[in-house]
Chains A and B, each alone.
Chain A
Amino acid sequence: MRIILKSLLFISLWITFSSCEENFSPVVDYRQTYALSCIIRGDTSFQVATLFSSYDLENGDPSQNPAYDGAEVRLWYRDTVYWFKDSLISYNTYSDSTLKFYYLDNFRPATGGELLEIEAMLKNGKRLKGSCVTPSSLQFNTKETSKVIPPINSAGILFQWMTEDEISGFFVGRLRIQYLQKIDGEYQLKYKEVPVSYTDAGGRSIPVFPSPSKSASIIYDSSAVTKALLEIAENDSHKSDYRIYQNAVFEVLALDENASRYYSSTLQDNSFTVDVNELDYTNIEGGFGIFGSIVSEEITIRFVPEYITSFGYEIFFED
């Protein structure tokens, strides 16, 4: 009897240790996923959509990728359907690399609540769909908007705008300083984006850039503009090699909710925005990606020449 019991115990222990054994692999079964990205702009009739796909490294041939070629991309607007055409971009740096993109060269939507729907049908029948609503068009409130930098009797530079109708989305502003830098005897055009402010984080000065909001105005700290100007030639003692355009350009984008998320996810150099993978925000049914709509408007603001020359820079007057 004891022999039988011992045998059973041994068998049970053997089963315990061997029955759950399996060949574990960290690589899961490959499953192809697709993404569609398209932001419709209200300030141009050229619109671009791109298709991406996950890629099986083992069996892959990029040219056979359903997202790469042969997709039908259509846009529904009012009672018309627009078919995207396709084109290839070759990268100079990687001569064998190309990107297929789909484009429309005859479509410019009206602003203010127009429904846009997109559908990309890949050649394997997979459909990616999305919809969005165009944001309202913009107009600057020139009465309230600051005229010069540095502002007169104010610590901030104000930009204010209005939408033409009640349908308002999200707005994001961008103030850019245009300048020419002398490199090897020739001037090159460059831009410096100005943050709304700088904040101190553990002794480090971190720029804070505008993020999408519902507010129809934005105030830049005068000190932020000063610091941004200083940064242009921070490590260069030849300040006179820099010519700052007398007019800086402020651009405001009106974004629908989808584009707003997309914009936030792609903001750079801003530690106060969570830098997420854009695929984390998707409004594409049947896959991933973003379909959104934006309109933009811009206004120039003039630098006081003495302010620019106080940094050692030259001022560049446009015709």
Chain B
Amino acid sequence: MRFINSRQLIILLVISISIFFLYSCEKEISTSPPEKEPPQGFLFVDSNPQNYKIYLDGRFTGRFTPDTLPYIEETEHLIELKKKYWLDSSALTFAEPGELKSIYIDFMQNPKVYGQLKFVSKPDSAVVEINDSITDIKTPNVLQGILPGVYQIEYHLKQHRSTSSKAIVQSNTTTTVTLALQDTSVWVDYTVAKSGLPTNHITTLAVDQNNRVWAGTINNGIILIKGNKIEYMNSNNSILPSDRIRVIEVDKNNTVWIGTDNGLAEFSNGSIRNIYDGTNTDLSNNSKINAIGFYHNIVFVGTVKGILKIDAGETKLFEIVNDLGNSEVTAITVDESVDKIYTGIRGQMLTFQIRSGEIVSNPKVDDIGDFLKELDLTKIILRPDDGKLWALFSVQSGKNQDDDLVHGTPYLCVWNGSKWLYQMLESENLILTDVTVSKDNYVWISSNVGLRQQITLRDVEFLYRTYNSGIFSDDLTAVEEDQDGTIWIGSVDGLFKYKRQLEN
């Protein structure tokens, strides 16, 4: 056996100590992986035009050009720019650490960015208006080099209603704007949709001496039309006592008298001068105005309590109760030549004599016929040319045995100076709503089945319906002629203008 000598022992000891030294300090230490530092790439993206959506590697960043994409990975990125209606574009780029790299895309240099607008109208030759600017372009035509976007296109053609539409122009595409223009050479309609009226429901019509048309509405005040100008008067922009307009009449002084559900307004020289209602008259709590008539400078007003007389601002109420116990005056007309006032009171027509501006208290009950006793006199008008009175009677509405609302048979009556002539009209549910006399002595009667034009009681010259005229509603409520001879027709579906003087 060989013994280890001292030299070997020393070497062994040194090796042992070294191993011990190397391993003795080893410890089990748990450490978390080092936190990854945020990437340091920055990319500035700009375009012409600006406001493009910036997509980074296929994902919208929520940023729009020009903007910087901060702290993005230092690698290759796909940058896409997108904008509604505009051509897209994309680019590959490297983001470098700590360096602001820029991308700029000028879309305007690319001819494909632009779109085209093709204008088509029926009939042709309409003038094109783009975004409220009249152009010298006439249909049909094509406009090139249009920037993408939404355009308001309007066509104008004489004797036709202008019409408009929105057109979306996209890059590298042709957008066709095809519009039909309504012929307004003879018939014109005014509605909420086409003319911006506050309502389609017209209740009454009048024309003042300035040839301005006054159209009362069911709940939105008054529409005023002169030429192409439309204005509105209501309880918000004036002292009109109610927006429910029942009757409008114009006197010889061009004062406009407006009967509402809540009083009478006197309009002159551009504004409402007086209001007559329960606070300053004997109408007390019911100021509903049904009818207005003029006797020289005196105004007679049909109310629920009788006839209100207005003379130079002074008022006097003639309370009337007819044989049937009714007092509501539904119609008035005055014949100055014989100093008579004709009134419709529920179930009867009463004629009063006027002496020294006062109503004689004992009225004459006109002997039209017993069968009219159950009828309401809706309107009465004097045809100046022959002095004949035209009266519209309708049966008071009621319900039949099946609980359906019925109006009964209406009558059209004419006073020929010595006796009443009458005609029972054909339809049971016919309602006569308004009557006017045109300068050529035609009597125009609006109804819920169209517009009657007649010269005599028996013969209807023409019945204007939706299928044979420019009116698109048979439910007519009012009729009036203006100074040009144009017939204005109110309905529950809009207002119509019939330029009959221009019709061949």
Point out residues on A near B: beta carbons under 8 Å: 1, 4-5, 8-9, 11-12, 15-16, 19-20, 31, 33, 74, 76, 79, 81-83, 121, 124-127
Contact = CB atoms under 8 A, between A and B. Distances in A.
A31 B35 contact: yes
20 contacts: A1-B6, A4-B6, A5-B10, A8-B10, A8-B17, A9-B13, A11-B17, A12-B17, A15-B17, A16-B24, A20-B24, A31-B32, A74-B62, A76-B62, A81-B60, A81-B61, A82-B62, A125-B38, A125-B70, A126-B38
Contacts of A74: 62
B40 interface: yes
Contact of A125 (B9, B14, B32, B71): B71
B20 interface: yes
B19 to A, nearest CB: 11
Contacts of A31: 32, 35
B39 interface: yes
B21 interface: yes
B25 interface: yes
Contacts of B25: 19-20
B9 A5 contact: yes
Contacts of B10: 4-5, 8
Contacts of B20: 12, 15-16
Contacts of B39: 125
A126 B14 CA distance: 52
A75 to B, nearest CB: 9
A9 to B, nearest CB: 8
Nearest to A33: B35
Contacts of A83: 62
A81 B62 contact: yes
Contacts of B40: 125
Interface string B25-42: 100000010010011100
- Top 5 nearest A-B pairs (CB, nearest first) are A81-B62, A125-B38, A125-B71, A20-B25, A12-B17
A19 to B, nearest CB: 6
Given A16-B24, A19-B21, A127-B71, A79 B9 contact: no
A74 B16 CA distance: 63
B38 A8 contact: no
A6 to B, nearest CB: 11
Nearest to A117: B59
Interface string B43-86: 00000000000000001111000000011000000000000000
Given A4-B10, A8-B10, A8-B13, A19 B24 contact: yes
Contacts of A82: 62
A180 to B, nearest CB: 45
Contacts of A125: 38-40, 70-71
A12 B18 CA distance: 9
Contacts of B32: 31
B60 A127 contact: no
A121 B24 contact: no
Given A12-B20, A15-B21, A19-B24, 16 more contacts: A5-B10, A8-B10, A11-B17, A12-B13, A12-B16, A12-B17, A15-B20, A31-B32, A81-B61, A81-B62, A121-B70, A125-B40, A125-B70, A125-B71, A127-B38, A127-B71
